[in-house]
Amino acid sequence: ARPKPLGFWTGEQQAVIDNNWKLVHRPGQGQCAFQPPYSSWGNLSRVHLLFDLDADPHELHDLSAERPEQMQRMRGLLDGFLASVRNSQENETRCGRYAPPPFSSGCEWHVDTGLDGGDIETVKASSKEEC
């Protein structure tokens, strides 16, 4: 048993797994899209599919209509996962603005002469105009 639900988000496809339950939102059109049961599901861009992975490891039987309480619980888990990802993207991973380095009155640069880094020429400017 997993201690926590596991969420996924790739492109438009989203899913959450909580032990034997899996909820898929916007499933992709794969190599089996032309055959039942996938062909009967219609426009999958707005669909949530619920599966019991213990009873249905190949994810062929959508239980969303038969198990509304489980569907609601799993949608809550998926919504929580997506909110967490959005918060991370918007607030936690942004790089802050950095202050530019102070202007230096002297410049220094190195020229690699192409000899495996063994022969590096260092040139120092005598004034900032030479930089």
| CATH code where residue 20 lies | 3.30.1120.10
Looking at the whole model, is its pTM more than 0.75?
no
CA 88, 89, 93, 94 torsion: positive or negative?
A: negative
- The residue range of the domain holding 88 is 6-92
- State pLDDT tens for residues 7-64: 999 888 899 999 999 999 988 766 567 777 677 767 676 789 999 999 999 888 999 9
Residue ranges in 44-120 assigned as alpha helix (H): 68-87
- The total number of structural domains that make up the chain: 1
Task: Please report whether residue 80 resides in a domain.
Answer: yes
Going by C-alpha positions, the residue among 38, 56, 55 that lies closest to residue 47 is 38
Mean pLDDT of the chain: 78
The pLDDT, as a whole number, for residue 50 is 95
Chain-centroid distance, C-alpha 43: 24
Task: Please report whether residue 114 resides in a domain.
Answer: no
Kindly tell me if the per-residue pLDDT of 76 is higher than 90: yes
Task: Please report whether residue 117 resides in a domain.
Answer: no
The pLDDT, as a whole number, for residue 80 is 95
Task: Please report whether residue 77 resides in a domain.
Answer: yes
Task: Please report whether residue 73 resides in a domain.
Answer: yes
Task: Please report whether residue 23 resides in a domain.
Answer: yes
Task: Please report whether residue 125 resides in a domain.
Answer: no
The pLDDT, as a whole number, for residue 112 is 53
Task: Please report whether residue 14 resides in a domain.
Answer: yes
Kindly tell me if the per-residue pLDDT of 98 is higher than 60: no
Average pLDDT, stretch 107-128? 56
Q: pLDDT confidence of 126, banded at 50, 70, 90?
A: low
